[in-house]
Amino acid sequence: MSSISVAFQKAKANGNGALVGYITAGDPTPDLTLKIADALIKGGVDVLELGLPFSDPIADGPTIQAASVRALRAGTTPIKVLEIAKEIRLRHDVPIAVMTYYNPVFRMGLDKFFALAKECLLDGVIVPDLPIEEAGDYKKAASKTCVDTIFLAAPSTSNERLKRIVECSSGFLYLVSHFGVTGTQTDVSDSTIALVKRVLPFTAAKIPLAVGFGVSKPGHVSRIIGAGADGVIVGSAFINLTQKHKDNTNAMLKELQAAASALKVATKIKA
């Protein structure tokens, strides 16, 4: 069983859903990314998701797009992201997944990318613009190095295709909560709850289900976990705090840890 799957299992054994925390690696600087990761993990993040900055992040909203620009300007490269992942992994017993678009992986070469991923102790990879129909070689390369392949399902995904995505995925299934791009939302819609309940029969006893896109508040987390999801993914809310306190690192880290703690408390599974 992979480290990511074990993290979800541990959370459930403790009566909680899993909290997956996303940050853009290198934002605002590669060195500060390590401290940000420390703060989120101290706050209770069960799985850390590192965004690999890319010039054309089509699935991301303004918050993560801006974070990618800042990270690229700070000199963050794909190899640097993997090195950051290794440093964090050596400091914490928390699994790490990298979220990247396919272009950087393709340019590096599948075998080289996954060899480096294994060397840097990476646990999983998420590629939002790679459909399962074109992921055969990618899946083979990942399997050789025992790196989880985390695929995404959307509200428009048919039941037939959902079965295939679940079969291809490992670690967890990333369920996109709504149409559109990443970013904070004011509330969790009834359609998101209905989506979770539709997908659960396909993932039950097969793979953990984690819901992302727009999840930013404890109330969001509580409602999604209450609907039966195994975990939630929070990103833009953390990045907003990083940018809000860009001139005061101590305040930034304190608020990030507090935010992660509040979100983790909200993952409590109610009887």
Residues that are catalytic: 49, 60
In the sheet with 209-212, reading across from the earlier edge strand, the strands are 148-150, 124-126, 96-99, 47-51, 18-24, 231-234, 209-212, 173-176, 152-153
Token code pair at residue 248: 């005061």
Token code pair at residue 196: 């979770």
Residue 22 phi, psi dihedral angles, 5° rounding: -100, 135
Where do runs of H (alpha helix) occur along 56-135? 62-73, 78-91, 102-108, 110-119
DSSP3 helix / strand / coil % (the chain, rounded to 5): 50, 15, 35
The gap from C-alpha 17 to its chain's centroid, in whole angstroms, comes to: 14
Q: How large is the angle between the packed helices 249-265 and 30-43, nearest 10 degrees? A: 40
**200 three-state secondary structure:** helix
Q: Is the dihedral of CA 23, 64, 105, 133 positive or negative?
A: positive
